[in-house]
Amino acid sequence: MGDCQRCKLAGGRHTIVFGQGNPHADLVFVGEGPGADEDEQGLPFVGRAGQLLNRMIQMIGMKREEVYICNVVKCRPPGNRTPEKDEVEACSPFLFRQLEAIKPRLICCLGAPAVRTVLGIKEGITKIHGQFYDFATSKALATVHPAYVLRNAREEKILREDFEKIREFLKEK
């Protein structure tokens, strides 16, 4: 990506947060964009939402190093707002090239912006979570974003149920 200047997010970023993990992963997580901790460290999902994601990954018997984690946009939106359409359009080609290179068995879209970008689905995440969709040679699953669960603790049940579906899917060969 070099010193990407393709959208207005470039002006406010500290670091481009491209992605992290196993480049041959069976499982890829896609979030919406980096937050303050991620922008500072240059790694995806290292803040509170990342800690919850790590616990969910461990719950299904995996390690963070086994999966690949990235976001729709690679620079932090101001105030952690949802990425805007032009920002997603500028950055999503990088995401799609990441997914094409990794060729995971399963892509887990964390939250509505990831679902809209990867799958083109605009329906509410609470209606479509836990369902599998086709994406190129992979399957994709939509679930709630860990940050949403941190703000709405009762919704952790949704995340746990969806991660159980991930575990079952990955068990099948």
State the burial class of residue 10 (Cβ atoms within 10 Å of its Cβ: 0-12, 13-18, 19+): middle
Query: What is the pLDDT confidence band of residue 90, given thresholds at 50, 70 and 90?
Result: very high
Dmax (CA) of the chain: 45
- What span, in angstroms and rounded, lies between the C-alpha atoms of 38 and 142? 22
> Mean pLDDT in the chain?
96
> Taking the CB of residue 136, how many other CB atoms lie within 10 A of it?
12
How far apart CA 25 and CA 48 sit, in angstroms, is 23
Residue 143: predicted pLDDT:
98
User: In whole angstroms, what is the distance from residue 72 CA to residue 92 CA?
Assistant: 6
By residue count, the chain amounts to 173
Q: Tell me: pLDDT of 88 over 90.
A: yes
CA of 94: how far to CAs of 70, 74, 111, 154, 163, in Å? 10, 9, 19, 34, 26
Is the pLDDT at 158 greater than 90? The verdict is yes
In the chain the first and final C-alpha atoms are separated, in Å, by 35
The pTM of the whole model exceeds 0.75: yes
Mean pLDDT of the 55-64 span: 98
User: DSSP class of residue 172?
Assistant: -
State the pLDDT at residue 69: 98
User: Is pLDDT above 80 for 139?
Assistant: yes
Contact 83, 77 (CB under 8 A): yes
Q: Given a cut of 80, is residue 36 above it in pLDDT?
A: yes
The DSSP call for residue 105 is S
pLDDT at 2 over 80: no
Summarised one tens digit per residue, pLDDT across range 108-136 is: 999 999 999 999 999 999 899 999 999 99
Token digits for 9?
């997010």
pLDDT at 173 over 80: no
Kindly list the structural domains of the chain, giving each domain's residue range(s) and its CATH number in brackets, ordered by start: 16-171 (3.40.470.10)
- The answer to whether residues 61 and 27 touch, using CB atoms and an 8 Å cutoff, is no
Tens digits of residue pLDDT in 49-59:
999 999 999 99
Residue 98: per-residue pLDDT: 97
Taking residues 71-77, report their average pLDDT: 97
Residue 86: helix, strand or coil by DSSP? helix
pLDDT of 3: 87
